[in-house]
Structure 1
Amino acid sequence: MSIGVAIIGSGIFAKEQHLPAVQAVSDLALKAIYSRSLKSAQGLADGLTDVDLYSDDSGAGKSFADLLAREDIAAVVLALPIPAQPTYIKAALAAGKHVLSEKPIAKDLATAQELVSWYGDSANVDKTKTLWGVAENYRFIRKWLRTAEEVQKLGGVKAFRVSMRCKTSPESKYYHTSWRKTPAYQGGFVLDGGIHTLAGLRLILGRGGNELKTLSAQTCQLQEYLPPIDTVDAVAKTASGAPGVISLSFGSEFKELALEFTCAEGVVTLVDDRLTVKGDVTDIPFEGVGVKEEVQAFAASIGNGKLDEMLRPEEALADLEILESIVKSGEEDGEKKALSLQ
């Protein structure tokens, strides 16, 4: 029997990724779409049949609360502006709906920790019956998974370098999203986009001594239209004492995706889609950005009553801890920050 699901939000990512992902997962049946305006909900629903639309301006019986009252909708996939998400997450969970919410988990660590604590309180939600996962598609992309597998096979990490640099153009469709252009949250594009790379780094490092424990960062704004910062450079250290460099930029004049891991038994690098393990090269063809796989994992979690480990809110909390520590360290001219949630 299919799981009735609603998509909450109708932005670019919902249109290009969430909608096709939901449609591709046979265990899910799209029942409704909610957006704050009917026009935007209609934009996402263009060409669809048998999908009901809800919005703040649709009149009686068509509010978000009305959608949550439907017994045929068991789950929601939620992709709203970063500051707005916690309110909708809580409302859906309180209504007994399973939730898959987009990364980052929240705009800052304090908000995220309060949200996780609220979910853990049985007076608010029965976690055994109502699942909440945070979507981070990089945990489902094959090249990141394969790199993690190879690094973890080669023993403890002795040193690492991660560089993700690009330039977000003023013509970018994402830049022209109003809430991204004038961010009401820390880090701007560094939070919204950079959280992916940090999640990928954590996936590759794993635990058992490879998890990050401290970092120190410098931050800056290279492009005047990308406030408050668009570039970070950090030095970090793992629990076992291995040093690492993390460089992220959305205002760079050159483009690079390069990861290097010196391990106890050899070196692993990932440059764009080319993986090199102890000198052996493998090209990993692009197979999508992992959203279909994470939505499939969410549906499977509902089916078996146990949340996929990759979707745990605690993983998203750990991603955000690194990002926020980088931002705060940069504000304090490189002040060393300790990490406790890894």
Structure 2
Amino acid sequence: MDFIRWGVLSTAKIGVEQVIPAMQKGELSKISAISSRDVDRAIEVADRLGIEKAYGSYEELLEDEEIDAIYNPLPNHLHVPMTIKALEAGKHVLCEKPIAIDLAEAEELADVVRSFPELKVMEAFMYRFHPQWQVVKQWIDDGEIGAIQTIHSSFTYYNDDPENIRNKADMGGGGLLDIGCYCISASRYLFEEEPIDIKGEVEIHPDFGVDTIASGVLRFTKGTATFSCSTLASPDQKLIIYGTSGIIEMDIPFNPQESPASIRITSGGQVLKEKTLQANHYTLQGDAFSKAIIENRDVPTPIDDAVASMKVVDALLSLHK
């Protein structure tokens, strides 16, 4: 098997505008089919993006025996049910983050995944595949900033559209599930362990019923991580790692797309090291998942990692109840 034949569930904006064009640049990923509940929409997107097959239902695509793997960018509340259907159809699944809308649903999916050991499932936290993260991890492993003491991250954008799925509670909306999950995932990834204590503040929008501002304090055995996210703030993202002998700053930690991403080590106000890296993390993510299938290896981030992140999201949301 030289490459993986992919089918895409839905013509969601993130897939059509970002993920599909990026995966089409990969060496191991071929986008072979796309589906929509509106067949005309599926045909239009397929023609525009040079995709061979278009289906008028998700089920039709899942029945296609020539499709090896599924990319699931559906709204959050459909991540688990459609991923399970894809597994039952014998397909590997790369599912957009968050993997589920709550911990119970994530654990349900993990149980199902374990019953299909021959199939791969991964949460699409594409940020981890950008080379800036490999450099940052190497700096930390090499002791460039000493021992990590605390991490602070933030991720914000402004979206007050009541019709947008991110503002619909019944579809898994809210800032924690959409962007706060990046801060949580990155903190766990950098400390290489799970938090032993979780505190925070969450503000629920009176009309939307979803969180629009959230801040968290995660305590690990090795240090702490703090973060803030908001869906009603000016767009920005940052991540800073404070060590005993230096600081690592990441200017665009989560979704640089193909923009230059700058990272640096500072100490006492002086820049000690600096790098600017450019890559498409969606391309790299797609090929990494495809390679895991071809070589029958474990995926880079297993389903247990997704469940662990959902535990933190659930804990923070429960603080409001």
TM-score, with normalisation over the residues of structure 2? Answer: 0.85
Letter in 1 for 2:287: Q
Gap change, CA 1:132 and 1:177, over 3 Å in 2 = farther
Cα displacement (A) at 1:262: 2.0
Gap change, CA 1:51 and 1:239, over 3 Å in 2 = same
- In the alignment, which residue of structure 1 is the partner of 2:248? 269
- In the alignment, which residue of structure 1 is the partner of 2:87? 93
Kindly indicate whether the alpha-carbon contact (under 8 Å) linking 1:6 and 1:77 is maintained by their aligned counterparts in 2. Answer: yes
Cα displacement (A) at 1:320: 1.8
Kindly indicate whether the alpha-carbon contact (under 8 Å) linking 1:144 and 1:204 is maintained by their aligned counterparts in 2. Answer: no
Cα displacement (A) at 1:255: 4.1
Q: Deviations over 1:121-171 (max 9, x none)?
A: 2xxx2x1x221122111111222332232223328745213131433144x
1:280 paired residue among 272, 280, 287: 272
Kindly indicate whether the alpha-carbon contact (under 8 Å) linking 1:101 and 1:134 is maintained by their aligned counterparts in 2. Answer: yes
Structure 2 distance, partners of 1:42, 1:297, is 28
Kindly indicate whether the alpha-carbon contact (under 8 Å) linking 1:236 and 1:244 is maintained by their aligned counterparts in 2. Answer: yes
Cα displacement (A) at 1:185: 5.2
Residues 1:69 and 2:63 are matched in the alignment: yes
- In the alignment, which residue of structure 1 is the partner of 2:184? 198
Structure 1 distance, partners of 2:317, 2:218, is 14
- In the alignment, which residue of structure 2 is the partner of 1:179? 165
Residues 1:139 and 2:128 are matched in the alignment: yes
SS at match of 1:87: helix
Kindly indicate whether the alpha-carbon contact (under 8 Å) linking 2:158 and 2:234 is maintained by their aligned counterparts in 1. Answer: no
What are the equivalent positions in structure 2 for 1:144-293 lying under 5 Å apart?
144-154=133-143, 157-170=147-160, 178-184=164-170, 188-207=174-193, 211-221=194-204, 227-240=209-222, 242-253=223-234, 255=236, 257-263=238-244, 266-272=245-251, 273-276=262-265, 278=267, 279-288=271-280, 290-293=281-284
Gap change, CA 1:32 and 1:176, over 3 Å in 2 = farther
Cα displacement (A) at 1:2: 3.3
Bigger drift between 316-325 and 153-162 goes to 153-162
Kindly indicate whether the alpha-carbon contact (under 8 Å) linking 1:260 and 1:269 is maintained by their aligned counterparts in 2. Answer: yes
Kindly indicate whether the alpha-carbon contact (under 8 Å) linking 1:148 and 1:203 is maintained by their aligned counterparts in 2. Answer: no
Letter in 2 for 1:89: T
TM-score, with normalisation over the residues of structure 1? Answer: 0.80
- In the alignment, which residue of structure 2 is the partner of 1:59? none
Kindly indicate whether the alpha-carbon contact (under 8 Å) linking 2:165 and 2:173 is maintained by their aligned counterparts in 1. Answer: no
- In the alignment, which residue of structure 2 is the partner of 1:336? none
Kindly indicate whether the alpha-carbon contact (under 8 Å) linking 2:9 and 2:34 is maintained by their aligned counterparts in 1. Answer: yes
- In the alignment, which residue of structure 2 is the partner of 1:338? none
Kindly indicate whether the alpha-carbon contact (under 8 Å) linking 1:145 and 1:204 is maintained by their aligned counterparts in 2. Answer: no
SS at match of 2:54: strand
Letter in 1 for 2:23: V
Gap change, CA 1:49 and 1:256, over 3 Å in 2 = closer
Kindly indicate whether the alpha-carbon contact (under 8 Å) linking 1:133 and 1:307 is maintained by their aligned counterparts in 2. Answer: no
Structure 2 distance, partners of 1:79, 1:97, is 15
Residues 1:304 and 2:295 are matched in the alignment: yes
How many residue pairs get aligned? The number is: 306
State the percentage of identical aligned residues: 21
Cα displacement (A) at 1:118: 1.6
CA RMSD of aligned residues (A): 2.6
Structure 2 distance, partners of 1:287, 1:69, is 34
Bigger drift between 13-22 and 106-115 goes to 13-22
Gap change, CA 1:214 and 1:187, over 3 Å in 2 = farther
- In the alignment, which residue of structure 1 is the partner of 2:257? none
Structure 2 distance, partners of 1:282, 1:50, is 40
1:102 paired residue among 96, 100, 115: 96
Gap change, CA 1:69 and 1:219, over 3 Å in 2 = closer
Letter in 2 for 1:325: A
Cα displacement (A) at 1:261: 2.2
Bigger drift between 295-304 and 29-38 goes to 29-38
Kindly indicate whether the alpha-carbon contact (under 8 Å) linking 2:198 and 2:316 is maintained by their aligned counterparts in 1. Answer: yes
